[in-house]
Amino acid sequence: MPLPTDTSVAGHQEAKTRTRRRLIDALIKVLPLLVLMLFSHSGGMRSSGEIGIQVPWWVIILVEVFAILPLAFSRTNPGAAAGVIAVFCATQLVIGTAPGVSALAVPLVLYACAKYSTPRVSWSFLAVALLGAAALGAYFIFLDMYYMQQYDYYNSWTNSLVSAGLIAGFAAAVALTSWLAGHLAGRRRRELGAISERNQLLIRERDQEARLAVDAERMRIAREMHDVISHSMSVMIAQADGGRYVLQQSPERAERAFATISDTGREALTEMRRMLGVLRDEDGALQKRPAPGVQDLPQLIEDVAASGLPVRLHMLSDSIPKLPEGVGLAAYRIVQEALTNTLKHAGPQAHAEVWVATAAEAEPALMLEVRDSGRGAAAPDDGAGSGLLGMTERARLYGGTVTTRAHAGGFDVLARFPLGADSAGSAGSPAGSGDQSAPPDQVEETR
C-alpha cells in the first residue's frame, strides 16, 4: 500500500476545506429564508389565491421551498440555480400566489450568477429577471381586475397601472442592483485571479532561471575542475616519471621532483575543495580567493617549467589593460589547457613558448599564442566540454575566438579576446613576465 505523499495530503486537506466552506455558504443562504418562510405561514395554511390554477396548500409550500433550495449551489453552479429559481418563481405566479420569501432568492442568485458565471449566462438571467419583474407587475394588474369584478370594487386603470408599475420597477431595480454588485465583484475576482496567475507564472520563471543558473554554475565548476585536475595530474605524472629516472643518479633532483608532486597535489586538493564547496553551500555565499588571470601566468609558467617542460613567457606589451575577471580567467585557463596538452602529448624533448600581446586595432584585443615543438598533433577532445572544445567555449563566452593548427615543428593555439571600453585602464605587466622579444609570425597574422 503506497504511503501518502505531502502533495496528496495537502490536496486532500484543501478539498475538505473547500467542501466545508461550500456547506457553510449554503447554510447561510438557505436556512434563514426557510425559517422566514415558516414564520410567514405560521398564521395558517391556505390553498392558492383567487386567480390562477387552484392547488392545495402543501403544493404552495413545496414550490416556495424549491424556489429557495437552489441557493445552496448558486456559488458552484450559478446558471443551474438561477434557472431552477426562475422556473419555480414563474410557477408561483401561475398558481396565483405572488412570490413571498422566495422572492428574496432572486437577487441572491443574480448576484452569484453575475459574479461566478460567464458573461453570456449572466446577461441572459438578468433579462429573465427583468421579464419576471414585468410579469409580477402584470400579476398585480390581473389581481386588481379580479377584485373589481368579484367584490364590485372600483379602482381606476390609472391607479392600477401606477401600482403595478411601481411594483415592477422596484423588482427590476433590486434585480439590476444585485446583478451590478455581482458583476463588479466578479470583475474584481477575475482581476485578482489574473494577478495571481501572473504571480505564479513569474514564480515558475524565477525558479526556472534559478535552476538554469545553478546548472550553469555547475558546468563552470566542472570546467574549472577539469582544468585544475588535468593540469595538476599532468605535472605530477611528469615529475613522478622524472623522479624515478634520476632517483639513483641525482637524489637531490629526485627530492625536488617529489616535493613538486606533493605541492601540486596539495594545491589541486585545495582547489577541488574550494570548488566543491560551492555545491555544498546552500546560501551560495562562498569565501574564495580571486580567480586567476593574466597576471598569474608567470606563476603558471614556473609551475609547468618545474614539471619538466621547458617553457618561456613573452609579454609583448609594456602594459596589459585591466581585464574583466571573466576574460582574465578564460585567458589563463586557455594557456593552462594548451600547456597541459603539450605536457601530455608533445613527447620528450619538447618545449613551449607563450606570447601575450594587445592588438593595436580599431577594436583593441588581447592576443594569446601557445606554441610547442612537439609532435604537431592536437590532443583528442574528451567530449565533455573540456580540451580544445572547452577552450573554444571559454573564448566564445566573451566574444573571442580560438584557432588551433599543426605545423611541421609542433602545434599552435591562438586566442583572441576583444576588449571593450569597460576594459580601459591599464595595469602594469606582471613581475617576472619573461623577456620582451619580438612577436612571432603567428601573432602578427591574427592582428
pLDDT in tens, the chain (447 residues): 454 544 555 556 777 777 777 677 666 677 667 666 665 555 444 545 556 566 677 777 788 888 888 888 888 888 888 888 888 888 888 887 777 777 888 888 999 999 988 889 999 999 999 998 898 888 888 777 776 676 666 666 777 788 888 988 999 999 999 999 999 999 998 899 899 989 988 888 888 788 777 777 667 767 766 666 766 777 777 767 767 676 777 777 777 777 777 777 777 777 666 666 655 554 444 445 677 888 889 988 988 888 778 899 998 876 677 888 788 888 998 998 888 888 887 777 788 999 998 876 667 889 999 998 876 545 455 444 457 777 888 888 888 999 998 877 788 999 999 987 544 333 333 333 344 444 444 443 333
Q: Is the dihedral of CA 385, 391, 392, 394 positive or negative?
A: positive
The boundaries of every CATH 3.30.565.10 domain in the chain are: 294-447
CATH 3.30.565.10: does it fit domain 294-447? Answer: yes
- 438 in helix, strand or coil? coil
**DSSP codes of every residue in 216-257:** HHHHHHHHHHHHHHHHHHHHHHHHHHHHHHHTTT-HHHHHHH
Taking a C-beta distance cutoff of 8 angstroms, is the pair 54, 47 a contact?
A: yes
Q: How far apart are CA 324 and CA 421, in angstroms?
A: 11
Closest CA to 275 of 290, 283, 286: 286
Report how far apart, in Å, the C-alpha atoms of 417 and of each of 166, 323, 352 are: 86, 10, 22
The pLDDT of residue 221:
67
Q: Which three cell numbers stand for residue 67?
A: 424556489
Closest CA to 144 of 160, 127, 128: 160
The pLDDT of residue 276:
64
The pLDDT of residue 445:
37
* Residue matched to cell numbers 484543501: 14
Question: Which residues face 356 on adjacent strands?
Answer: 315, 368
Question: Which residues face 160 on adjacent strands?
Answer: none
